[in-house]
Structure 1
Amino acid sequence: MSTLQAYLAQFNDKAQPRVHSYATNVNSTQTFRAVAKQASSLRQQLSQLAGARVALTMTASSDVLTTLVALDGLVEELIVLPVDVNPPSGCHFHINERGALRELEPWSANPMPVQTGWSLRDEQGQLVSFTLAELCNNPLVASGNRDKPLRWGVLQEPAQLAGLMVWLRALKHGEDIVLAQADNLTALAQMFAHAGVTAIAAPPRLWRSLLASNEPLRLPLQLAIVNSAMADASTLQRIQYSFSGVHVAHAFSHTGAGYSWLVRDGEPGFPAHLLQVSDAPVKLNVVDDSLWIELGESGARIQTDYVVERNSDGRVMIVGEHSHKVNVGGRDVFVQQVEHALLAVPGVVDVQAGSMPNPVLGELIRVDILAPQHRTVAERKAFKRQLQDHCRAVLQPWQRPARYDFHG
């Protein structure tokens, strides 16, 4: 039976992976063996939780990591929660992000060994449960190489499937974990550089903010993962150009399916062969213009929010989300298409597109542009003309922004 304790026990004294914790003027390091020892002690203290349903509020801290190891194999169900989300009904106990234990319903401990079910909140806020083995069967976790371990800088909360994958991969394959708490991304990047981080997984907007700080250029990155099905070409290219020899990939994680697809070629979208893997436990499929997920054993199908189209090579490109579109004079505009178009312009650090009311067409597109190199009124007027020219070249008339607001 797979447990986190069993993962940690496989590493000997000569090759001990470590958990590095950084904060302002403070840092500490623990070997995996030390984490396992602390988890064993904590498990004895939490013996009254045996066989119970326990909600754990997860943050990126070494204490939460130790608690996670202690609970796996002890409790019947481990419900992973982000901060500020209340435990669901039916929970016997709740452990908050500070480690405080609270009993929610009466419980008598059942010391029989259990295979803990891991429950996460899906895209609709409903709980879905998986075994540890199922979660570790994801490509990102399974692709870890114990002979060439990475050192992961944690940027995404472990209560999210994409963030949890990094923790599970590191614990299973003996890769260092760097947990840092900082007031801003520049300070965080400095901590990562000091720790020698070689791998980062983060969503596109966080990657763009990190790159804008200029500090990441000092990182010896070997692997950079953009956690989004809608990873855009500009962001992928910026990462590739910023780090010599880095391998850039993007991952599409879907909590409802408990699976994360890893696209390793550094290009946006999904290659055709990814939809043709017949023996995959979870499969992708395109029906009309929507991306669907098929669960192999049960045969269940999940319609995602993504709108897709195939290019001439058969590659599946995600053009937007059903829930994030603007109706301009009866035509649907996906805000991501507008954002990706503007991100291709040098000088645009980040962009967020939305809608504004219009008495004739109902709605129009407006964009917030982060362009710190253009600060004066004259510079922004000239840059706006450049952006408008670019949009005329790559977007349809109804997709073009009617208003540009500059920041930075």
Structure 2
Amino acid sequence: MLNEFAGFQNCKSIAIMGGTFDPIHNGHLVTAEAVRHRFNVDKVIFIPTGRPAHKMNQTVTHHEHRYLMTVLATMRNDNFDVSRIEIDREGTTYTIDTITELKKICRPDVRLYFITGADAIHQIMHWKEPERLMSLCDFVAVTRPGYDKKKLLSDIKNIKEKFPSRIHFMEVPALAISSSDIRMRAKEDAPIKYLLPQAVVDYIHKFELYQNEEDLDMSNTINLESMKEKLQSALQIKRYIHTLGVESEAMKLAEIYGTKQDKQKAQIAGLLHDCAKDYPRDLQQRLCKEYKLALDEDTIRTPQLIHAVLGAEIAKREYQITDTTILDAIRYHTTGRPHMSLLEKIIYIADYIEPNREKFDGIEEARRLAYLDLDLAMCFILADTINYVKEQGRKPHPISEEALQYYKQYQEDSNE
């Protein structure tokens, strides 16, 4: 490891360009050079990911291919280097571990700039050790022109108010190029020239990468029929019928708003969202204690919410779900939260509007909004749910009220 970093151990500033690089393309290179120029860094290190926590259920090309393509793409720029620090590390890849390791290797006063997509900034508080991570390096949030800059800058401001962090924003037009589009083009034998360096194009053709790539199908690794049989025995019949309704509705929404992968994840999250709902209350509390699940006071005060937190853990332990986006969709399907992922919104909404629900005031409007704009639907459903909870003489969970304010602001911004 020391030999690998010998070329820049004395650098005063380094930018870190992480990614699966499956494959690396010109958008990555343009971004790296733009960051190098703007922040006047000595080197940019490209770090192909090993086993990223957020892509555990996704098919990723073997790391040696991804590493070699990255080397080929960067070898003509003396300011670029490539590191094996993550692909050689065992276990799940976390950014904090990489930054910590780099800090140990580089000079004590090195300034690190971590380049990430703007979308990641919205989720950064859910990364491993986010507070320590933001104290160790600057973040450069990059996106293509047209991104909701106002929303991003608002999130950056909120993070800075909580933590002494340094987050910068950059627009990079070349980010319109995507690795997934290149993989699909290669599979369909469509041209990929000029989207990525010629050396990488030649490498892809030489090793026939992506030519025979099977579409990601989590049903190959997760037996859905077995899952349904297990749920049938764990849930009361009425709850199981509701579960099938949420599964169906979630898949419809994902087909409209997401990708094939989103649809597959929506199916699994929809099936498992209530997997712990019919556990007896004392069993729920005992399992939370046994699994060391941290329940906040508001959740403890409202036992109806416990099944969501426990359900995410049951999905992981008993149904072998490792995808964090699926687990988060289960965890927040009762309360919602600000900055929900696409999958989280889909499950939250599908749970409310699924076709087996008995008709009640507001459900038809919620269904109409769900197929018009997910964020508007979130605002409507959160408000309706909070009002219902208050009418029952109970106090809504604070995170639900925070989510409502967030989506109300979205609605106001959309109307401007």
Please state which band the TM-score falls in when normalised by the shorter chain: under 0.3
**TM-score normalised per structure 2:** 0.26
Which structure dedicates a bigger proportion of its chain to strand?
A: 1
Quick one: higher RCO (CA 8 Å, sep 6+), 1 or 2? Answer: 2
**Larger % of helix: which?**
2
